[in-house]
Structure formats: structure tokens, C-alpha cells
Structure 1
Amino acid sequence: MNLLKRNGSQLQGFPRLFFDDIFGRELFNWENNNFSSTSTTLPSVNIKETSESYQVEVAAPGMEKSDFNVTLDGNLLIISSARELKETTQQETFTHREFSYQSFQRSFELPKNVVDEQHITARYENGVLLLTVPKKEEAKQKPFRMIKIS
């Protein structure tokens, strides 16, 4: 058995950065985390496809429906929010101010020529933004049909 001894900034035989890189990663990350490249939190999103539509659920508790912007640019569905909170406490000898900025943007590419853009609906209930993105009639899954053999 061969043990590695720690010697200052490196383990004997291996640079420390090698181990920091390996053990600093999440093993099952799968590129599906809730942090943007700037390490800010992004809301979790569930997307479900049915034969009639796409159902999008965005977990955003504590927000108001007026905090959201939902746009469709071609086949790119963009959900964003920007919110600024200011809190000021004044007493006789001091003033204390707290500022908080919260924003996110999530984009989803929808299949081309499938979405009925004119009938997309959105509502905000119990901390969840719910979007229904209907499919065009020609893109809907047709029911199973038996074909008679002659």
C-alpha cells in the first residue's frame, strides 16, 4: 500500500490543484444546477410535453406576477425577472440602508414550426409561474389508428 504524504501546497508526487479540482467538483452535476455563471441562484424549471402542449413550471416563491417578463422570439422562449428591494431604517443617530437586487433569465429553444404562438398562456399561483405553450394542430400527436389490410 502506498500512502501520499501532504507536504505544504502539494501532496507528495501530485500538485495540490489536481486534488482541489477533482474533489471540488460535484460528481453528479450533469450541467443541471441552479447557479448561473455569476453564481447567482436561478429558479428551478419543470418542462412537460403532452400531446397538446408544453407545460412549463418555474419555481419562484415570494415574487409577484408583475416581476416576470415572458417573451417568445422566434422559437426561443425567454423567462426573465428583475427585482430591486430597498430597506431603510432611520433612528435619531443613524440611517441604515439595505439594497437587494434579484434577477434571472432562462431561455428555452422550442421545436421549430410546432408552437401555436398566439395561444400561449401564463399565470402565477402559489409561488409557481405556470406557462402553457400549445402545439399547432398539425404538430399534435395523432391517436393510434388501425389500418385494415386488404
Structure 2
Amino acid sequence: MSTLVTMPKNGSDVSKRNNLTSLPSFSSWFDNFFENSLGTEFLSNFNTGITLPAVNIKETNEDYVLELAIPGMKKSDFSIDVDNKTLSIASEVKHENEQKEENYTRREFGYSSFKRTFTLPDSVESDKVKATYKDGILMVTLPKREEAKQKPPKRIQIS
């Protein structure tokens, strides 16, 4: 946040400290509030749902493997689709909890969701995509077409 009052350095005249011209205007203070990190941190706290999960992508000779760390979910919470050359991984979870007592009712609810999409290379066999979810890790395996797999080196004999 910007400095609200300029302070005199050692040995400066103390009477200059009370000069109101050193105070910023309300409008500049208000603008600075939203330009600095305090404003953006404040606004970002409104979204308490799942952020986009990080993805590790590995390539082997046989396939591509996507690993997403998404703990605390169930297999049924995920939706994985392949449409043309696009892989979509999405999740939407709603939580509701209601507690009724003699003098009050307490109701809490939450909602979290995310969607990640990936453009698949031509080398992926899209009909054979598989997914597993274990210990908070969603693993999507994208097998390569036979012609895209690397062949072992071949030694050529000289005749």
C-alpha cells in the first residue's frame, strides 16, 4: 500500500509533519488499494473452490500419460471426454450440510469445479484412452498409434 503520511527524516522540522498536502487524496488511496496486492488477494479469496489442478505429462514409447493431483474426490466426480482431437477433464462437486436444533438451523453448502482441456496429437489412438483414480491421483493414459511408436534401431549389414 502506498505511504499515507510522509515522515520527516532525523533533524527535519517537526512542524512540516503536520502539512496536510503530504496526505494522498481519498481517490488516489482507493485506486492504490485495488492496484496493489492487497486488493487482488482480497478479491481472489472469493473463489474457494478447486483451482485448476497441476498436470504432469509423460511420454513413453507406447503412450502419453497425464497425471493430475486431485485429492479428496471420488471416481464418479470426474467427467472425461474425447471429442475429435480434444480431451476434456472436468469435475463438479456440491456439498450440503444442514443441522437443525431447537433454537437454530445451520446450513452450509459448497461448490467446486474445474475443467481442463488438451489438444491431442494425431499420434493418439483416441478410441483406447483409459483413466484410473487412486490415492488422489487421476491418471489418464493416451495410447499412441502403432505407426507413431518408435521402432528399435536396426543394424544394416553391408554386402
TM-score band (shorter)?
Answer: 0.7 to 0.9
Separation (CA, whole Å) in 1 of partners of 2:67 and 2:24: 46
Tell me the equivalent position of 2:141. Answer: 132
Bigger fraction of residues in helix: 2
Tell me the equivalent position of 2:154. Answer: 145
Separation (CA, whole Å) in 2 of partners of 1:109 and 1:8: 54
Percent of aligned positions that are identical: 44
Separation (CA, whole Å) in 2 of partners of 1:81 and 1:8: 50
Q: 1:65 aligns with which of 75, 78, 82?
A: 75
Counterpart AA for 1:99? F
Counterpart AA for 1:138? E
- Counting matched residue pairs gives 124
Separation (CA, whole Å) in 2 of partners of 1:50 and 1:62: 29
Bigger fraction of residues in strand: 1
TM-score normalised over the length of structure 1: 0.72
Counterpart AA for 1:143? P
Structure 1 counterpart SS, 2:76 = helix
Structure 2 counterpart SS, 1:42 = coil
Deviation at 1:148, TM superposition (A): 4.0
Tell me the equivalent position of 2:92. Answer: 82
Counterpart AA for 2:63? S
Tell me the equivalent position of 2:28. Answer: none
- State the Cα RMSD in Å: 2.6
Deviation at 1:147, TM superposition (A): 3.4
Structure ID, larger Rg? 2
